[in-house]
Amino acid sequence: MRLGASGAALVGLLGAAAPALSGDYEGSPQVAEFVAEMTRDYGFAGEQLVDLFREVERKQSILDAISRPAERVKPWKEYRPIFITPARIQKGVTFWNQHADALARAEKEYGVPAQVIVAIIGVETFYGGNTGNFRVIDALSTLGFDYPPRADFFRKQLKEFLLLAREEQVDPLMLKGSYAGAMGLPQFMPSSFRAYAVDFDGDGHIDIWNNPVDAIGSVASYFKRHGWVHGAPVVSRAQVRGERIDEGLTQGLDPVKNVGDLRALGWASGDALRDDVPVTAFRLEGDEGAEYWMGLPNFYVITRYNRSAMYAMAVHQLSELLVNARGGR
């Protein structure tokens, strides 16, 4: 992925006038406006960006994927088996053993447990086995210029992507990811890459596509920057009683209530929790019926990675199973 002389020209710094586009985006006023912005605000060379966009392909399959009607929201008893499988646990133990030194160093430097880092990478990409087959620039251009409902977001990500390609001196036509532009083992969007990814092996560039060490450090960096507290619990199973228990359920994910608030509504926990601890209170439909949970501050951090209580629970439970399968830390 490293740039040669011709590839480096794609992310040059000098400005230049932009000729008309050819290819899928020939004559697109949106692309011309974007090129002008990148030239004016970030010092890109207009001619070189136009050359780059000549190679960009509009992918109908990406528009079909993002426009597909939302799948029925699965209950926890159906969602959990997707991510908690013997194969994912076994592969996670292998990944942990292979990268034990990097994981131990990440835990020491960032305070994020090795098992949580491994679980994130396991849930996101099956430890790098499924990182996406779309060129990132095709995905972000297609969605930024041809998907009006979220065009602003994806155009911002396209800007961040071109900046990271220039900073890391990588060919933007070579990098691949998901249909939405998520990249590498940890599936970072470009803005997350620029904000949180780290060169954890110290080789002078950040590679979350092919370098598990950089991916490990980058996940740990993300969690630390979002407030992960080393040694603090993630969730507490609640026992509930009375007619007001549903009043305690959190609308959304932000922890707007605390343990004391829930206690007054009929929630109790076997764990020793201070009344002032903020919680995300949620109910899951498990195999044996309703489960009530208090998501603690570290749980909320996991939801910053993917805004779903079930996702955060899958990561947490996979992390615990990885520890058990490995025979402890």
Active site residues: 124
Chain position carrying tokens 């942990």:
96
Say how far apart CA 142 and CA 161 lie, in whole Å.
14
Say how far apart CA 284 and CA 240 lie, in whole Å.
13
- The percent helix, strand, coil of the chain (3-state, each to 5) is 55, 10, 35
Say how far apart CA 53 and CA 11 lie, in whole Å.
12
Assess contact for 99 and 220: CB atoms under 8 A: no
308 contact partners, CB below 8 Å, separation of at least 6:
none
Cα torsion at 208, 211, 215, 218 (round to 10°)? -80
Say how far apart CA 26 and CA 309 lie, in whole Å.
43
Amino acid at 151: A
Residue 149 Cα distances to 62, 78, 297, 306, angstroms = 14, 30, 32, 20
Amino acid at 281: A
b/e per residue, 26-38, with b = 16+ CB within 10 A?
eebeebbebbeeb
